[in-house]
Amino acid sequence: MAKVSIPTIKLNNGIEFPALGYGTWLGLNDKMEFEITDARKLQDALSYAIDIGYRHIDTAHLYRVEPEVGEVINKKIKDGVVKREDIFVTTKVWHHHHKQADVEVAVRDCLRRLNLEYVDLVLVHWPMSISQEGVDENIDYLETWRGFEEVLKKGLTRSIGVSNFNIEQMKRLLANCNVPPAVNQIEINLNLGQKELVDYCQSKGVVVVAYSPFGTMVPSRNYPDSPEPKMDNPTMLSIAKKHGKTVTQIALRYLYQRGIVSIPKTVTKSRVLENASIFDFQLDDEDVATLAQFDNGFRTIRPLFWQPYENYPFDVVLGQEHEDIPISLLKWKNGVNGDIE
């Protein structure tokens, strides 16, 4: 079996953090319903990922699959493939647990579903606070962060961080916290470089993690108005040929050379291996400059239905203020059978 060697970077608390992880978000279909039917495929791919050398797993309460993720991790520990301390597990707290006292409840629920005693990193999934009924609770994320500092102190997690925070929110959080976030997980890809936010986070010792690192490049995200590059883009194919790599490997390597950790998702084993085979070559300055030209600020993930809510982190698109929040993002049960609280 092929093996991969994934380097680590050091978080601001001294903990080693694998520079590429396995993302477990299965996504929503065109009816905005969760694709839980692929959970078993995800388990198979995750099991393979651990076998070949992945040690960083990214999940969340929202993803519904914490029970399945935990099942794989615990089996690998039981089988002697890894020790618990070898695996870096990230999970996230959703909108309706933003009260300070509710954070611990949410994290303990995550641990129960994962069947783990602790996680390595827990993130504020989004800066908004929205109830299960879709009501804006107007909870300051600084209050939420105090709850995060408490679960860190109690040993429920080894690190704490945020996701989808913009630069103003990061500045305010860093100015008003006792423990700085170790990570800000945001969308970054060739179309959305977010240079100002990335540079700011990195200047403050906050590691940037990229979700949706392929943007609209892959067919599942490729729709009529989405910009280049696509998988058959001549520029991408030329750079890939030059290095004997694939187009997606070029995209991931570009982010890595920016000091960014990526968490690509796939349930295809060949792509699991491919995604982690990016640490044996170097893009040159010309490659980097060429790839940087694809940055046009285009967001793949733009939840317009959250625009009216306090602390929405993205620029507002006018005329889209009153979309209903999909029910799948308000209430759910976890696991492949949808029967786990």
Catalytic site positions: 63
Task: Find out whether 290 and 239 touch, Cβ atoms under 8 Å.
Answer: yes
Name the E strands within 133-182.
Answer: 160-163
Q: In whole angstroms, what is the distance from residue 117 CA to residue 156 CA?
A: 7
Measured from the Cβ of residue 35, the count of other Cβ atoms closer than 10 Å reads 14
Name the E strands within the chain.
Answer: 8-10, 16-18, 22-23, 56-58, 88-93, 121-124, 160-163, 183-187, 207-211, 261-262
> Given strand 207-211, what is the order of strands in its sheet?
22-23, 56-58, 88-93, 121-124, 160-163, 183-187, 207-211, 261-262
User: In whole angstroms, how far apart are CA 78 and each of 40, 44, 83, 119, 256?
Assistant: 19, 17, 9, 18, 32
Q: In whole angstroms, what is the distance from residue 269 CA to residue 254 CA?
A: 22
Q: Is residue 125 marked as binding?
A: yes
Query: What is the pairing mode between strands 88-93 and 8-10?
Result: unpaired
- Phi, then psi, of 219 in degrees rounded to 5: -55, -35
Q: In whole angstroms, what is the distance from residue 230 CA to residue 241 CA?
A: 15
Q: Which of 157, 194, 192, 160 is nearest to 174 (CA)?
A: 160
HSE-CB at 222 with a 13 A cutoff on CA atoms is 11
- The residues pairing with 9 across neighbouring beta strands, listed in sequence order, are 17
Q: In whole angstroms, what is the distance from residue 265 CA to residue 24 CA?
A: 6
- The residues pairing with 162 across neighbouring beta strands, listed in sequence order, are 124, 184
Annotated binding residues for substrate: 125
